[in-house]
Amino acid sequence: MVCPKCGKTFNTSVEFCDMCGHHFAAGSVPPAYTPPYPPTYSAPRPSHGMFGNMGNKIKALAKVVAWIGIIFSCLGGLSLIIQGMDYEISGLILGGFLIAGIGSLLSWISSFALYGFGQIVDNTDKLVNIAEEIKNKK
C-alpha cells in the first residue's frame, strides 16, 4: 500500500503512516493511482492450434478468393463469348461479357468484405494479446 499523503510505500498493511501520520483506516483513502501500462506491441504468439493467426489466414484467403473468382469469371465469360462467336449467337457473347465483368467485380467486392473481416479478427487477436500481457504483468 502507498500513503496518499506522502507517497511512502508499505509492504505490510499498516494503520498509520510513520512518515506523515496519515490514518489509513479512515476509509476516505482513494486507491493509489497506477498509470496505465503503455500499449506494447507483442510479437505474434506461437499459433494456438488451427485458429492461430486467424486474421492473417482470412486476409490471405480473401486475396486467393478474389483472384480465383476473377480468373474463373473471365475464363467462363470467354468460353461463352467464343461459343457465341462460333454459333453466331449474340446473346451468348453478351452473356459472356456480363459474366466476365460482373463475376470479376463481385469476387473483387466480396474479397474486400472478407479482407475486412480478417482485419477485424486480426485486430481483436492483437487486443487480446495486449490485454493478456497487461494481465500477466500485474
- List contacts with Zn ion (CB under 5 A): 3, 5-6, 8, 17, 19-20, 22
Min dist. Cβ of residue 49 to Zn ion (A): 51
Q: At its nearest, how many Å lie between Zn ion and the CB of residue 117?
A: 54
Q: Considering beta carbons, is residue 23 or 63 the nearer one to Zn ion?
A: 23
- Cβ 21 to Zn ion shortest distance, Å: 7
**What number of residues does the chain have?**
138
Q: How far apart are CA 104 and CA 71, in angstroms?
A: 8
Nearer to Zn ion, 31 or 46 (CB): 31
| Least distance between Zn ion and beta carbon 11 (Å) | 15
User: CA angle, corner 45, sides to 39 and 47, nearest 5?
Assistant: 145
Q: Which is nearer to Zn ion, 5 or 126 (CB)?
A: 5
Q: Where are the beta strands (DSSP E) in the chain?
A: none
User: How far is it, in rounded angstroms, from Cα 42 to Cα 132?
Assistant: 10
- CA atoms of 95 and 75, how far apart (whole Å): 13
Q: Which is nearer to Zn ion, 20 or 102 (CB)?
A: 20
Q: Is 119 within 8 Å of 55 (Cβ atoms)?
A: yes
